[in-house]
């Protein structure tokens, strides 16, 4: 089966509802209000003044990842071992259908290692459920958004009860019906909004005039793993351009290799520490399950050096490495939500 190639960024902001859209490729969702952003320089539970979150979108071949799903799934044991060796957790956002089709052992492994799991849609692309060509949550109304949110939660919770605290929708695309559904499901956090225009600090999200009881954890929409070595410049030019611009502004060599990715992420981490701020890294492990000589083994070449550095920063208390749920609990204590 060959995935139909499509850009991750399309022109429609939100075909349904009044607010929302993409946070990627220079797009900004409409109507987002940043309320009570977490103050910079605050002291986190381990005494550090900055926090780093490692988040994964676990999506096999349900989206547009191009690696081997079998290899991706078998990699999770190694990834979790590396996290455990370093004494740090991560947040894994997983496509619900993938849990049904391929789980639950690999998600249980994540939890056993102290990481958090949350849904990344029930289906990754909504047209696979509803037909037609509308892929994104923000293209749909309340009924479809409720199904996407609640079935994603159910796919995990029928295996592991009461573990889901938050949600990341595919493509980070949403509208107010998505947030209504997440709030209705009593979730605590969401992570869709990119750092462009909203900053890196967690905040309480408002959409239009409505303020939600959800902590929004902004994610890296400029330099996340994927464009560094996988994106082709024809369909994903905006990603490649964003990474190039970041490298230029920081005087980092722009090389589309795993090592180039590590250099960029190191810079991200050190900036967060310098600025006493929060930064949320985003990685797609399906793109680390590729077999091309030029990339050698991206798990070894890209992800493990990143995990080792995060472990070191956490041990030396230069940063607090936490899950989305841990950050949310901290935020709620500070802001008294
Ligand atoms: Zn995805």
Q: Can you tell me whether residue 63 is helix, strand or coil? A: coil
Ligand 1 center to 236 CA (angstroms)? 15
Ligand 1 center to 170 CA (angstroms)? 4
Ligand 1 center to 229 CA (angstroms)? 17
Ligand 1 center to 50 CA (angstroms)? 27
DSSP-assigned letter for residue 302: I
Ligand 1 center to 328 CA (angstroms)? 22
Ligand 1 center to 65 CA (angstroms)? 8
d(CA 16, CA 175): 7
Ligand 1 center to 274 CA (angstroms)? 30
DSSP 113-178: TT-EEEES-SSSSTHHHH-TT--SGGGS-HHHHHHHHHHHHHHHHTTSTT---EE--GGG-EEHHH
Tokens of 333: 């204590």
Ligand 1 center to 127 CA (angstroms)? 14
Ligand 1 center to 253 CA (angstroms)? 27
Ligand 1 center to 172 CA (angstroms)? 8
Q: How many residues does the chain have?
A: 337
pLDDT per residue as tens, the chain (337 positions):
334 445 555 667 888 899 999 988 778 999 999 999 999 999 999 999 999 999 999 999 999 888 899 999 999 999 999 999 999 999 999 999 999 999 999 999 999 999 999 999 999 999 999 999 899 999 999 999 999 999 999 999 999 999 999 999 999 999 999 999 999 999 999 999 999 989 999 999 999 999 999 999 999 988 888 666 666 777 778 888 888 999 999 999 998 888 899 999 999 999 999 999 999 999 999 989 987 777 788 899 999 999 999 999 999 999 999 999 999 999 999 997 6
Ligand 1 center to 146 CA (angstroms)? 18
Ligand 1 center to 120 CA (angstroms)? 7
Fold type of domain 20-335: TIM Barrel (3.20.20)
Question: Torsions phi, psi of 273, nearest 5?
Answer: -65, -45
Ligand 1 center to 25 CA (angstroms)? 15
Ligand 1 center to 238 CA (angstroms)? 17
d(CA 107, CA 49): 31
Ligand 1 center to 108 CA (angstroms)? 20
Locus of tokens 């996988």: 230
Ligand 1 center to 105 CA (angstroms)? 21
Neighbours of 248 (CB within 10 A): 10
Ligand 1 center to 28 CA (angstroms)? 18
Ligand 1 center to 171 CA (angstroms)? 5
* Beta-strand pair 278-283/189-190: unpaired
Helix 69-86 / helix 105-112 crossing angle, nearest 10 deg: 10
Single out the residue of 73, 192, 168 nearest to residue 116, CA to CA.
Answer: 168
Ligand 1 center to 93 CA (angstroms)? 9
Report yes or no: 20 and 178 within 8 Å, Cβ to Cβ.
yes
Q: What is the pTM of this model?
A: 0.95
């Amino acid at each position: 089966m060959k995935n139909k190639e499509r850009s991750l960024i399309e022109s429609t902001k939100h075909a349904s509802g009044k607010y929302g859209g993409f946070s990627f490729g220079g797009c900004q969702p409409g109507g987002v209000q940043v309320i009570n952003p977490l103050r910079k320089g605050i002291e986190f539970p381990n005494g550090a003044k900055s926090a780093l979150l490692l988040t994964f979108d676990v999506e096999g071949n349900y989206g547009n990842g191009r690696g081997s799903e079998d290899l991706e799934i078998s990699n999770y044991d190694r990834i979790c071992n590396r996290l455990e060796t370093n004494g740090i957790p991560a947040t894994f956002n997983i496509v619900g259908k993938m849990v049904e089709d391929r789980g639950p052992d690999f998600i249980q492994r994540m939890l056993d290692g102290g990481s958090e799991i949350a849904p990344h849609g029930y289906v990754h692309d909504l047209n696979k459920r509803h037909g037609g060509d509308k892929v994104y949550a923000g293209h749909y109304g309340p009924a479809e958004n409720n199904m996407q949110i609640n079935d994603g939660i159910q796919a995990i919770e029928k295996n592991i009860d009461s573990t889901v605290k938050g949600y990341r929708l595919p493509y980070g695309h949403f509208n107010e019906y998505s947030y209504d559904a997440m709030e209705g499901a009593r979730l605590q956090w969401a992570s869709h909004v990119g750092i462009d225009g909203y900053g890196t600090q967690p905040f309480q999200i408002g959409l239009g005039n409505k303020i939600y009881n959800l902590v929004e954890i902004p994610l890296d929409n400029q330099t996340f793993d994927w464009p560094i070595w996988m994106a082709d410049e024809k369909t994903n030019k905006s990603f490649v351009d964003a990474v190039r611009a970041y490298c230029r502004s920081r005087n980092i060599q722009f090389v589309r290799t795993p090592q180039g990715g590590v250099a960029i992420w190191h810079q991200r981490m050190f900036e967060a520490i310098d600025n006493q701020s929060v930064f949320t890294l985003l990685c797609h492990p399906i793109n680390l399950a590729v077999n091309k000589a030029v990339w050698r083994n991206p798990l070894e070449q890209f992800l493990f050096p990143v995990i080792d550095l995060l472990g070191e920063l956490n041990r030396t208390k230069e940063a607090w490495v936490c899950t989305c749920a841990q950050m949310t609990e901290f935020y709620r204590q500070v802001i008294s939500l």
